[in-house]
Chains A and B, each alone.
Chain A
């Protein structure tokens, strides 16, 4: 559905996206994760042909992003917090304006979505709150049953109630469509994304399916035979651990770390060979939010290669 190959995007001397490659499988819900300024929005704007790549290429629906035409755009729904809609139109006028551009616009579906999102039809877009605008943006992106739905930071600034309404509206209509969603917080796409790619400062750190990601991250608590205060307290000492062990800490006789390549059979063996006095090992699955925080922190500290 989307194929990005060695994509670079520069703004003057600033490299917003660097050598980015990833693929979004058809039917997936692909999350592009990264901190603010990681290059997510730039990547999406390149995919939508709003920006041209500096180097490399991207294909969307089998078409080079630079050649995306109304034919492709008629199959893509786009929702973004950075979308300037005609402020002087009312919600109803805007929807009426958009309808003729999409041959597959389903008026019944539109009504159903509007009912679900509870948008005020007579209110001018200029007078909508941020949350309302995001819901309107979603309401404009779904009635033509897009093959690809692109959501750029859709939850940014939304309160939990609106966010839930938004998600509900989205998930009910998702069907077979492929979703590309960007967010600066992995926790936000919990339960939605099937695949994830992690961007940091324009570079892709990894991409994989959500199940693999959740499967390979564990928060490991190791109880040692005796106090090992010196382990992990100094920078020099920490280097003895594998690079896939993140946030290594000790407290008394308890060693904790996040294993980003967890394997139940290997972790005990590794611990015993490195430390020796292991009494007990407890490895817990991590919530997505914690995985994201760990990854972001590790990326900033340059721990991940």
Chain B
């Protein structure tokens, strides 16, 4: 037989031996896909039961391919001295390629097919469906299947694999805890740049898998390969720590419209009044201590008044990272750490700017910040906002009345909005980059619910949306969500190759206390306005305040509490 026929020959042998397992694993993908489709499109009475079942199946859709890969590899295990293939004229390259072929056709293949069918069943054409499915498939291949293949090649049987995996995960977890305890949570975590860390991890996983597989199949150096695998796991973890400056420089090079943010200027405006916490929030209420970078204490947080010029009328400014440097009178650095994240948006020339401040990683929209607060604009149309600066309490108490030099090094992204209108009642339409959207009134008849589903990635990581009565122009309060992801590719382990977004827009208060500008009577002429912000430019700015006394910029609420003590 010719070599490629022998690859096929070994592949067929594995298929013959494992066909019940192959069918089971593939069946799981299709059953899960069908259940998801039913959950998306059918109104079920007892939906929670189905959701629980679906969540169980989701775990199985990852576990089954993992076990199938390991089982296929173990049919001709590499470690050990008793395997029959070792004494046969089997080219090791052929064996490796046969296992790879199995992985692609019998493991990845059904996932690809199920994902593609899911997208097509949701009404997406073949090419976008295939594109979304292939993108997720590649993601799974690099992030799961190949590392599992390499790992399984280091073991003789499933028991060894499971024990090795448990030991490896424990070691991996301990390393991660050690790193986290040093306050070194990955700099890119929780930001739109995390895809760079993820890509680095995948690159390491790919290279590591190739190295381990080559060592195993061409040299049969199991102990050495196990050491290499441990090294790869360590490097994988290190990739989590990609330095911010490097990652942002790379992201800047990928800016879709370089220079679009060049007109944006951020300046300190001491003429503004001090910041006031929103009603109902006190410093004790907003104090939070979270691990690593997310440590925040409202009692030692100051809010610097800033004015932002040059923000386009349909733009949003997102701080991807802000590094605070405080210097003493003699220019020595007395503190270097993160400042609060800040998001400023402007939906149109006639609309006020809004801002959100807090720590993104602790879900700042709810826990700390004033969320999407409207702010006045100066005569020149500049947004007047506040930058939160949270310091360790002991340090703050020591330095709050000293004259300091303050610098904030911003890594910023300018996003521009595209608006889409969705009729409030019973709409069913396709929106480019958002997906297939449907609107309806909910069962309580107090919300308009919009569900959008897209094959692959949807551009809705940063958006504002509100209910509008088109003839009168009346609007209900907007909902704003901005947690951008700048990834140029689509990938997710679970649940499938689709992106789903759901939003509710209230128009009636069931308690009768609130009244909305757009109410039930106006719904036939109402629409949901969806503004999707997409990144245009990534750039840096530096804010320098040569002389500042931090206590001057405590929130009004803070001072009031302190005076009452």
Contacts and interface: CB of A to CB of B under 8 A. Distances in A.
Interface string B129-156: 0000000000000000000000000000
B84 A86 contact: yes
Given A100-B1, A100-B6, A86 B89 contact: no
A45 interface: yes
Contact of A84 (B5, B9, B84): B84
B91 A70 contact: yes
Interface stretch (A71-79, A223-231, A252-260, A266-274): A71-79
Interface residues of B, number: 19
A51 interface: yes
A101 B5 CA distance: 10
A51 B80 CA distance: 9
Given A97-B9, A97-B13, A100-B9, A86 B90 contact: no
A88 interface: yes
Interface string B1-27: 100011001000100110000000000
Interface in A93-119: 93, 97-98, 100-102
A280 B17 CA distance: 71
Nearest to B5: A100
Contact of A48 (B9, B87, B90): B87
A82 interface: yes
B418 interface: no
A45 B84 contact: no
A50 B88 CA distance: 11
A83 B6 contact: no
Contacts of A51: 81
Contact of B87 (A76, A86, A89, A97): A76
A102 B90 CA distance: 10
A85 B84 contact: yes
Contact of B17 (A83, A88, A101): A88
B17 A86 contact: yes
Nearest to B12: A97
A86 B13 CA distance: 10
B452 to A, nearest CB: 48
B82 A84 contact: yes
B17 A89 contact: yes
A237 B9 CA distance: 69
B6 A45 contact: no
Contact of B90 (A70, A76, A93): A70
Contacts of B87: 48, 50, 73, 76, 78, 83
A74 B9 contact: no
A225 B343 CA distance: 118
Contact of B75 (A50, A82, A86, A93): A86
A93 B17 CA distance: 10
B431 interface: no
B89 A71 contact: yes
A9 to B, nearest CB: 12
Contacts of B272: none
B63 interface: no
Contact of B88 (A73, A88, A89, A93): A73
A73 B91 CA distance: 10
A49 B1 CA distance: 24
B97 to A, nearest CB: 14
A140 to B, nearest CB: 8
A9 B91 CA distance: 25
Given A86-B75, A93-B16, A102 B89 contact: yes
Nearest to A98: B88
Contacts of B86: 48-50
A229 to B, nearest CB: 53
A97 B83 CA distance: 15
Interface string B63-82: 00000000000010000111
A89 B81 CA distance: 20
A83 B91 CA distance: 19
Contact of A74 (B81, B83, B89): B89
B132 to A, nearest CB: 37
A257 to B, nearest CB: 41
Interface in B316-339: none
Given A88-B17, A89-B17, A101 B89 contact: yes
Interface in B370-412: none
B82 A83 contact: yes
Contacts of A82: 81-82
Contacts of A89: 13, 16-17
B40 to A, nearest CB: 40
Contacts of B82: 82-84
A45 B81 contact: yes
A146 to B, nearest CB: 11
Contact of B89 (A48, A73, A84, A85): A73
Max chain B Cβ within 10 angstroms of own Cβ: one of A71, A84, A93: A84
A114 B90 CA distance: 23
A100 B75 CA distance: 18
A213 B16 CA distance: 51
A255 B542 CA distance: 107
A88 B15 CA distance: 12
A290 to B, nearest CB: 33
A278 to B, nearest CB: 54
A73 B90 CA distance: 8
Contacts of B5: 100
Nearest to B14: A86
B465 to A, nearest CB: 57
Contacts of B91: 70
A50 B80 CA distance: 9
Contacts of B16: 89, 93
A228 B375 CA distance: 123
A83 B88 contact: no
B6 A101 contact: yes
B74 to A, nearest CB: 11
Nearest to B83: A84
Nearest to B6: A100
Contacts of A48: 86-87
Interface string A262-301: 0000000000000000000000000000000000000000
Max chain B Cβ within 10 angstroms of own Cβ: one of A51, A86, A89: A86
A46 to B, nearest CB: 10
Max chain A Cβ within 10 angstroms of own Cβ: one of B1, B75, B87: B87
Interface string A44-73: 010011110000000000000000001101
A151 B82 CA distance: 14
Shortest 3 CB-CB contacts between residues of A and residues of B = A70-B89, A74-B89, A78-B87
15 contacts: A45-B81, A48-B86, A48-B87, A49-B86, A50-B87, A70-B89, A73-B88, A82-B82, A83-B84, A86-B17, A86-B84, A100-B5, A100-B6, A101-B88, A102-B89
Given A73-B87, A86-B17, 4 more contacts: A73-B88, A73-B90, A84-B84, A97-B9
